[in-house]
Amino acid sequence: MPEPMDSHVDLASLPKDERLARMRHSAAHVLAEAMLDLMPDAELGIGPPIDTGFYYDFRLPRSLVPEDLEWLENRMRESVAGKHPYQMESITKPEAVERWKDQPFKLDLLSELEEGNVTQCTHAGFTDLCRGGHVNNTGEIGAFKLTSIAGAYWRGSEKNPQLQRVYGALFETPEELAGYEHQLEEARRRDHRRIGRELEIFDVYEEIGPGHIVWLPNGATIRRELSRWIEDLEIERGYQHVHTPVVGKAELYKISGHYYHFQNEMYPPMERDEEEYFLRPMNCPHHIMIFRSGLHSYRELPMRIAELGDMHRWEKSGALTGMSRVRIMTLNDAHIFCADTEMVEQEVEGVLRLMEEVYRSLGLTKYSYRLSKWDPDDKEKYADNPPMWEKGEDLLRRVLQRVGLDFYEAVGEAAFYGPKIDVEFETAAGKAEALVTVQVDFHLPNQFDLEYVGEDGERHQPIMVHRGIISTMERMVALLIEEYEGNFPLWLAPVQAVVIPIADRHINYANEVAARLRKEKLRVNVDARNERMNGKIRDAQLKKVPYMLVVGDREAEAQAAAVRVRGGGDMGAKPVEEITALLVSQRDSKALEPHVFPERSA
């Protein structure tokens, strides 16, 4: 039964989300109206609301240029000023097919609709095929701004034609729109690519190649601390760390299946002595070889094989982004060989608990768990083995519930060999990025004919769990840079303190203070440059060094240093012993200090 076609909507009575969605969707109509004015031959795609506004996809006779956005925006404002009402009407499907015969994408949409009536919406003489959900007239669409032009495939598939997408930001009030723009600016300020350069954490060189990042000394220090920490945590929990080569023969990947399913994401093969070698795209096959090299008893299980393993993936050039999307990366990887599903549940539980502990230590809070399931309709990507998938998915769901974690489920997100739990973190730009996965795998043990001897003396096939905790070093450090805004907690800070002599005659004492701190393995520099104290403080502040230790005549006399905390003021002189003890305790407790989260400290 069709909705009343011209009912007035009381916007104020709607929940804000609903109201915004209506405004944004209505604005997309106005954009399409403007576009038809600019290019009457434009073919219309779709124009939905999104989190921060709206977009509309078009196939156009020519490429849009930035000046077009300005023109379109002005044209939209005219329509807004006209306060044109939105009017819905219901027509039969055959009528619709006739009405939209010149709009191939609309016909494509119609072809998927059930028989019966469809609705369309008209304002200011512009009609769009539409399910509904508008404001009353164009005067009510709120504060908006066209933001960018992008390419987008029709219905999200690379196989379909690419359309031109125009994005707009839209909020209820100009103040909220300004707030959003301010937020974008804030995100740019936190961007790991910007801070990574300023703090000399990483770099890329054209001669080394895109996606091949170089960890500079500061970045290498952060990475070393993280690596040691996570390895220790894993060793405490019964993981055995190994080192395996980054190359494998084609044979290995033929067995694993990567040769057939994954080759376009691998670096091309290297040929020598009539053999094909590959840079490995993942570590699992190497770890499996270790397990397979001997006959194992059920008493040895679970066997947890771990490695900070280097992997190589030929990511599409357009996908590369700073440190967070690279071609060569180091994964905090482990493969746990389990006797049965019961053991898998226990192990996955242990993994989830370790994750919670690690993220708490790092101060990370903006993440969520996703149960990633297969898509029974995608026969190309997934083995057609419904019982295997269901078994794995049920198991992961049970563990998530038992550990008491919030999670959501997503179809078609599984790996080709098994379902997984993904942990998605929110980046500075507000996007969800999967950093970590836990996967249950019945497939590879089968491919490699893995077995162990059970309590009954018979041979059984183990089940594998693939898991990461802190993701790739690259992605985790990118995330931490953005989270902390470069203000690393003391234990991770590349330089933990800088000693600042007030005049040249204090340099000897400054070196003495530094030496005393270094005895405790603290990372300390002395700023002996011929600069004023103020300038040195400013530089240390900009380099986000946690502690500045100013030394002059008074301090040298008292065997002390005047302590200044990053982001804070002068805390007065303290004995060097006291300062050492403070820093050591802060470091060893991995305290989120000083001022790791600037916005959370007044």
Site for RNA in 491-530 (CB under 7 A): 502-505, 529-530
Beta-carbon contacts of residue 510 (< 8 Å; ≥ 6 apart): 499, 500, 501, 526, 528, 551
The distance of closest approach from Cβ of residue 226 to RNA in the complex, given in angstroms and rounded to an integer, is 14
- Rounded Cα–Cα distance for residues 373 and 325 (Å): 23
Shortest distance (Å) from residue 402 CB to RNA: 23
Q: Any idea what the Cα angle at residue 359 is, between residues 332 and 353, rounded to 5°?
A: 80
Closest distance of CB 199 from RNA, Å: 12
- How far apart are alpha carbons 149 and 544 in whole angstroms? 37
Q: Looking at 3-11, 239-247, 335-343, 567-575, which segment touches RNA (CB under 7 A)? A: 567-575
* 302: contact with RNA by CB under 7 A: no
Interhelix angle 473-484/217-236, rounded to 10 degrees, is 110
Residue whose token pair is 């005067």: 139
Cβ–Cβ < 8 Å for 11, 141: no
Q: Within a 10 A sphere around the Cβ of 171, how many other Cβ atoms?
A: 21
Q: Which of these segments, 96-104, 464-472, 514-522, 578-586, binds RNA (CB under 7 A)?
A: 464-472
Query: 88 or 329: whose CB is closer to RNA?
Result: 329
Select the residue interacting with RNA from 29, 286, 467, 475 (CB under 7 A).
475
Confirm or reject binding of residue 183 to RNA (CB under 7 A). Answer: no
Q: Is 332 in the site for RNA (CB under 7 A)?
A: no
Give whichever of 521 and 532 is closer to RNA, judged by the CB atom: 532
Shortest Cβ 218–RNA spacing (Å): 15
DSSP state of 463: E
Cβ proximity to RNA: between 140 and 555 the closer is: 555
Q: Which residues of 578-600 are buried (b: 16+ CB within 10 A; e: fewer)?
A: ebbeebeebbeebebbbbbeeee
Minimum distance, C-beta of residue 58 to RNA, in the bound complex (Å)? 11
Other beta carbons within 10 Å of 405: 16
Q: How many CA atoms lie within 13 A of 271 on its CB side?
A: 1
In angstroms, what is the minimal distance from the CB of 210 to RNA? 3
- DSSP structural state of residue 2: P
Q: How far is the CB of 340 from RNA (least distance, A)?
A: 26
By beta-carbon proximity to RNA, the closer residue of 228 and 381 is 381
Kind and range of the H or E run holding 432: strand 432-441
Question: What minimum distance in Å lies between the beta carbon of 564 and RNA?
Answer: 4
Residue 13 lies near RNA (rule: CB under 7 A): no
Q: Which of 70, 94, 95, 162 binds RNA (CB under 7 A)?
A: 162
Closest separation in Å from C-beta 550 to RNA: 4
The reply on whether position 538 binds RNA by CB under 7 A is: yes
| Contact with RNA (CB under 7 A) among 541, 585, 589, 601 | 541
What whole-number distance in Å separates Cα of residue 408 and Cα of residue 410? Answer: 7
Cα 107 to Cα 386: distance, rounded to the nearest angstrom: 35
Residues 55-94 that bind RNA (CB under 7 A): 63-66
Residue (274 or 504) nearer to RNA, CB: 504
Q: Taking a C-beta distance cutoff of 8 angstroms, is the pair 410, 432 a contact?
A: no
Site for RNA contains 573 (CB under 7 A): yes
Residues 253-272 that bind RNA (CB under 7 A): 265
Closer to RNA by CB, 120 or 324: give it.
324
CB 374 within 8 A of CB 414: yes
* Beta-carbon count within 10 A of 547 CB: 27
Binds RNA by CB under 7 A, chosen from 2, 48, 94, 151 = 151
Considering the complex, what minimum distance in angstroms separates the CB of residue 339 from RNA? 26
Of 29-37, 117-125, 470-478, 486-494, the segment contacting RNA by CB under 7 A is: 470-478
Query: What beta strand segments (E) does 75-115 contain?
Result: 87-92
Looking at the Cβ atoms of 439 and 580, the one nearer to RNA is 439
460 binds RNA (CB under 7 A): no
How many binding residues for RNA (CB under 7 A)? Answer: 80
Q: Which of 120, 218, 221, 471 binds RNA (CB under 7 A)?
A: 471
Where are the strands (E) in 185-267, listed by range?
202-203, 214-215, 239-241, 247-249
| C-alpha span between 545 and 490 (Å, rounded) | 9
Which of 6, 251, 384, 531 is close enough to bind RNA by CB under 7 A? 531
**Residue 436 binds RNA (CB under 7 A):** yes
Report in angstroms how near the CB of residue 159 gets to RNA at its nearest. Answer: 9
Cβ nearer to RNA, comparing 151 with 174: 151
Q: Are 59 and 161 in contact (CB under 8 A)?
A: yes
Footprint (CB under 7 A) of RNA, residues 209-238: 209-211
Of 84 and 544, CB closest to RNA: 544
Minimum distance between the CB of residue 259 and RNA, rounded to whole angstroms?
17
How far apart are alpha carbons 348 and 333 in whole angstroms? Answer: 14
The residue among 380, 388, 438, 436 whose CA lies nearest residue 412 is 380
Instruction: Report, in Å, the least distance between residue 236 CB and RNA.
Output: 24
Q: Which of 29, 313, 373, 443 binds RNA (CB under 7 A)?
A: 313
- How far apart, in whole angstroms, are the C-alpha atoms of residue 146 and residue 297? 64
SS3 at position 83: coil
Contact 128, 44 (CB under 8 A): yes
Q: Does 534 bind RNA (CB under 7 A)?
A: yes
Which residues in the 390-429 window bind RNA by CB under 7 A? 415, 422, 429
Short-list 278, 339, 577, 326, CA closest to 471: 326
